Structure 1
């Protein structure tokens, strides 16, 4: 009789949802060696800009857990900057969900706060959010 292959079940240590502008990132924290996968791609290849990669890794550097956990991130909406900020927020939340001792250092660094700045909506009868049509005296 053929032996059934044992499936190695992946256990999520923590889960966090991060938001920034119009981007939403779902972060799954797993035991590992520091690999960060965003939408099926490595973090360096997903964000071509090293500054955005630095932003994503900031919570791990602050808590000294760069080589301790793997991150699986699904991010949708927004642009590269908003997505990087959403990933940072989600990673911070996932770390705190796993271990509450990380909260003080992440909170003082400002990674636990959702940056609520969003693009102002365009109003009707105007060319932009704040821009008005040119005034004509005659």
Structure 2
């Protein structure tokens, strides 16, 4: 992969959508124009969640990661970024796919918020029932 070539992949979780771009580099991590740890508000759990595919494959400082993410909360965005990174790595090298798949990094979590139904207060919460 030369400097001009890059890999694009998309990850989704709940209402968060992340577009991940992997470029050869020194391991710099940018999310929406900010450093990754700063964007994740110094939250170590979210940052480790994002780094998990790289830690599994021992590719810590091989690629620069540029992410554009929108929607959802911090954890949903972190999980969307993780899926995008895993998909990008799997499309780059087929040998990575089996180890990423066995750890569950390539599995899309499709759970999202249930819609509100009419006559109810929320998706399932009904008004209080009065017998008399």
1:68 aligned residue? 62
Q: How many residues align?
A: 130
> Aligned-pair RMSD on alpha carbons?
1.2
Gaps of 5+ in 1: 1-8
Structure 1 runs, 4 residues or longer, greater than 6 Å off: none
Instruction: Give the CA deviation at 1:13.
Output: 2.8
For residues 31-110 of structure 1, the aligned pairs below 5 Å read 31-48=24-41, 49-110=43-104
Q: Is the 8 A contact 1:12 1:28 kept in 2?
A: no
Which sits farther off after the overlay, 21-30 or 95-104? 95-104
TM-score normalised by length of structure 2: 0.94
Instruction: Give the CA deviation at 1:12.
Output: 3.6
Gaps of 5+ in 2: none
CA deviation vs aligned residue, 1:59-114 (integer Å, no higher than 9, x gap): 11011111111100000111101000000000001111111111011001100010
Distance 1:135 1:30 in 2: 59
TM-score normalised by length of structure 1: 0.90
Distance 1:109 1:23 in 2: 22
Distance 2:87 2:4 in 1: 17
Q: Is the 8 A contact 1:15 1:97 kept in 2?
A: no
Instruction: Give the CA deviation at 1:10.
Output: 5.0
1:6 aligned residue? none
Q: Among residues 10, 17, 40, which one is paired with 1:24 in the alignment?
A: 17
Instruction: Give the CA deviation at 1:124.
Output: 1.1
